[in-house]
Amino acid sequence: MKQVISILGATGSIGDSTLDIVRRHRDQYEVFALAGNRQWQKLIELCTEFRPQYVVVMDEDVAVTLKQGLQAASCATQVLLGQQGLCEVASASEVTMVMAAIVGAAGLPSALAAAKAGKTILLANKETLVVSGQLFMDTVREHGARVLPVDSEHNAVFQVLPHELTQHGRPITQDLADFGINEIILTASGGPFWQRDVATMQDITPQQAVKHPNWSMGQKISVDSASMMNKGLELIEARWLFNAKPQQLTAVIHPQSVIHSMVRYRDGSVLAQLGTPDMRTPIAYCMGEPERIDSGVKPLDFTTLSQLTFAEPDLERFPCLKLAMQVLASGGDAPCVLNAANEVAVAAFLQQQIGFTDIARVVEQVLAEANTQISHNIDDLLAKDAWARIAAQQQVLRV
Ligand code: NAD
Ligand code: MG
């Protein structure tokens, strides 16, 4: 039976890799919908190639241009608009799989809609779990949905956890310790600056920050990798995906990005997943699960690997990681506030309004001002997110 897939964030880096896998297995996957933000030209090309029923964009003006372009290309794909459009294609009855690959908290409502509709969610959008981990996982459980982690570290952990625990993406409710698991170790490349002189960190330009040594990714996640906020967000993501306690989670720098993460068992065994750093591997894993399908990824050549090295992350160098670890421990709405403030700060850094080291300052200040008492519904959570964005904007003007 063909899988019918909606790809949210289809014009991004994860979108590109997902569509590459679809191209390799056209007989197994049918694209139901593609969603993007403003890249209408790319969407016309993709619609002409994949002939989805729907395409979603966020703005009216983009939708108008897109409609005209599709008509001119004799493509019958219908255009839907905004969050409502995203939620429709994430929950449509025809759809079996949703690739959630929008960047930022903007991806949350559609991921929740997919969960409510009981879909298999291929989750790249880690911000969904950072902002609303409890709420999202509860929704997944209540509606019989499945979550397969696309993030390479979490995908690695998912692959080396006992199958009776992961159950093809059904939420984990058991205690990890009952399965002999002592620790989940997320590897981090350390980004481009893990050895740079701390005194010069303020001078880092957006161009330098988005140049990741091992992975090719969107701008926001690339900056997060450079500040190691990404690893902090991933620790929070792991907490929810694997029902892990904060003390069961650690991060270690491994600059070669060959080991994608590890699980340490009680008997001394450490199980790891290795591979060439290419997101098509975790994406193909999620799309094929429980089968293994071709991904086009270059096989890992052990004879050319000269070394695998490891280092402890320096929390003074990477204050964003420190803040995220504090937030992981404190819980409540603190992760939601951290995420929103970080999104605003990263955007301001990319627009050269603030320096690289100001990102952590903005986030820290917003956290200090925030009411982080836990919200129990999505509206309250989105209100908290909105508050944090305004508070962060004010901080941006102050630094
Ligand atoms: P990207 O910037 O390349 O692509 C983002 C996609 O989201 C684009 O299609 C864009 O049009 C869309 N988008 C942006 N803002 C939007 C909005 N407000 N509403 C609707 N759509 C919007 O980002 P990416 O690197 O593909 O990352 C996507 C997600 O996957 C992020 O959450 C990221 O953390 C996660 N992720 C990415 C990688 C990677 O290797 N790129 C690895 C792990 C996790
Ligand atoms: Mg990752």
Average pLDDT value for the chain? 97
| Domains of the chain (ranges, CATH numbers) | 3-150 (3.40.50.720), 176-330 (no CATH)
Specify whether the backbone of 62 is left (phi greater than 0), alpha (psi in -120 to 50) or beta: alpha
Give dist(CA 244, CA 264) in Å, integer.
13
Q: Which atom of ligand 1 is nearest to the CA of 222?
A: 25
Retrieve residue 3's tokens.
Answer: 């899988």
Nearest-CA residue for ligand 1 atom 31 is 103
Cα–ligand 1 centroid distance for 265 (angstroms): 33
For residues 243 and 398, give the distance between their C-alpha atoms in angstroms, rounded to a whole number: 39
pLDDT given for residue 211 in this prediction: 92
State what percent of residues in the chain have pLDDT above 70.
Answer: 100
Q: Residue 213: which pLDDT band, with cuts at 50, 70 and 90?
A: confident
The interface predicted TM-score of the complex, written ipTM, equals 0.99
Kindly report, residue by residue over 169-188, the tens digit of the pLDDT. Answer: 999 999 999 999 999 999 99
* Sheet with 97-100: strands ordered across: 78-81, 54-57, 29-35, 3-8, 97-100, 120-123, 146-149
Q: Which two tokens stand for residue 334?
A: 């603190």
Does 12 contact ligand 1 (Cβ within 6 A)?
Answer: yes
- C-alpha span between 361 and 268 (Å, rounded): 40
pLDDT of residue 214: 87
Q: Which atom of ligand 1 is nearest to the CA of 15?
A: 26
The pTM score is: 0.98
Instruction: Give the residue-averaged pLDDT of 256-262.
Output: 98
- The number of the ligand nearest the C-alpha atom of 107 reads 1
Judged on CB neighbours under 10 Å (0-12, 13-18, 19+), 290 is exposed
